[in-house]
Structure 1
Amino acid sequence: MKGTSLIAKDDIQVVDSVTDWKNAVRLASKPLLKDHTITKEYVDNMIQSVEDNGPYMVIADYFALMHARPGEGVNNLGMSLLTTKRAFDLEGKPVKIVLVLAATDNKSHLASLQKVMSVFMDDAAYQTVLNGSREEIVNLFEGLE
């Protein structure tokens, strides 16, 4: 993981809207592609997984935890976050938050994911991620290591 926070400031994006869920996944993945945490293969695998298995990655209201098989197209453990002001349809489920999880194996990401998910489990923090500014969202994750 780079920097001191689990989701680095540069890995958090807030946009008004996206054209569709595939573009949301690609946009959410951009910071991790840019710094070579993941490869394009990983992005393609996440999209293929939804096409094959449906919207199972939508794990809460408006929240999709995007991932693919650990290690395939993953160079380092990493996470990035995209929030859209307007919901988009992910195979029948409305989504506004896309958290991309890139894991190198089946276990090393679990502690980090648990810490990040603690933010999403807090109602006030979840509302901030849903409706807040990029700066407010960055502040939520800055203390987590």
Structure 2
Amino acid sequence: MDCFMSLFDLVGNDGIVITSEKHLTVDSALDLMCSILIKNKKVDSCYLEAIKQKHREIGAYYVLAPKIAMPHARPEDGVNEAALQLTIFKYGVDLESEDNGDVYLSITLAAVDSDNHINTIMALSELFQNDEDIDAIIQSDNIINIIDILKKY
């Protein structure tokens, strides 16, 4: 097996959600950000609950930068398989992050162990530092275009 996996390999063809919903609550946004991971049994629903619980305790710990969120919990919180879900909020969503404002792009991270986790985090941070690609993803209505960007990382 090729040890290099692009972000696309972890997202897959059906791991992208684009929503035009407005005024989502934090909980309903988080439901959406984990929906495909749960549907495809990559994580159990307790993983989503762990993220919500941590949010209630410490706030939007997963909002990393303006526009960008990376919801995640611990592998033992219900991860069955390493995976990512990419969710685009066309109108942004307020996840109660005081520092970073509304989120337009969320990549939910499900990691099974810390080794694979590191490579994924490195690839994600490379993507997150590329404003051009981030904006292209947020503005795109075409999943194929988004997949092409993910394959670069």
- TM-score of the alignment, normalized to the shorter chain, above 0.5: yes
Equivalent residue, structure 2, for 1:138: 147
What is the CA–CA distance in structure 2 between the aligned matches of 1:103 and 1:77, rounded to whole Å? 5
> What is the identity, as a one-letter code, of the residue corresponding to 1:24?
A
Equivalent residue, structure 1, for 2:126: 118
Q: TM-score, normalised by structure 1?
A: 0.88
**Counterpart of 2:102 in 1: which secondary structure?**
strand
What is the CA–CA distance in structure 2 between the aligned matches of 1:123 and 1:61, rounded to whole Å? 11
Cα displacement (A) at 1:143? 4.4
Aligned-pair identity in percent equals 25
Moved over 6 A (4+): none
Q: Deviations for 1:13-62, whole angstroms, at most 9, x for unmatched residues?
A: 11112522221211121111112110000001011111111122111111
> What is the identity, as a one-letter code, of the residue corresponding to 1:142?
K
Equivalent residue, structure 2, for 1:49: 54
Given candidates 1, 5, 10, the residue that maps to 2:9 is 5
What value does the CA root-mean-square deviation take over the aligned residues?
Answer: 2.0
Structure 1 residues 5-84: aligned runs within 5 Å: 5-18=9-22, 19-84=24-89
Q: Deviations for 1:61-118, whole angstroms, at most 9, x for unmatched residues?
A: 1111100122221111111110011111112431111111011223321102212332
**Please, which runs of 5 or more residues in structure 1 have no aligned partner?**
none
Q: Aligned pairs, how many? A: 143
Q: TM-score, normalised by structure 2?
A: 0.83
Given candidates 94, 97, 105, the residue that maps to 1:97 is 105
Q: Is this contact kept in 1: 2:10–2:82, CA < 8 A?
A: no
What is the CA–CA distance in structure 2 between the aligned matches of 1:23 and 1:31, rounded to whole Å? 14
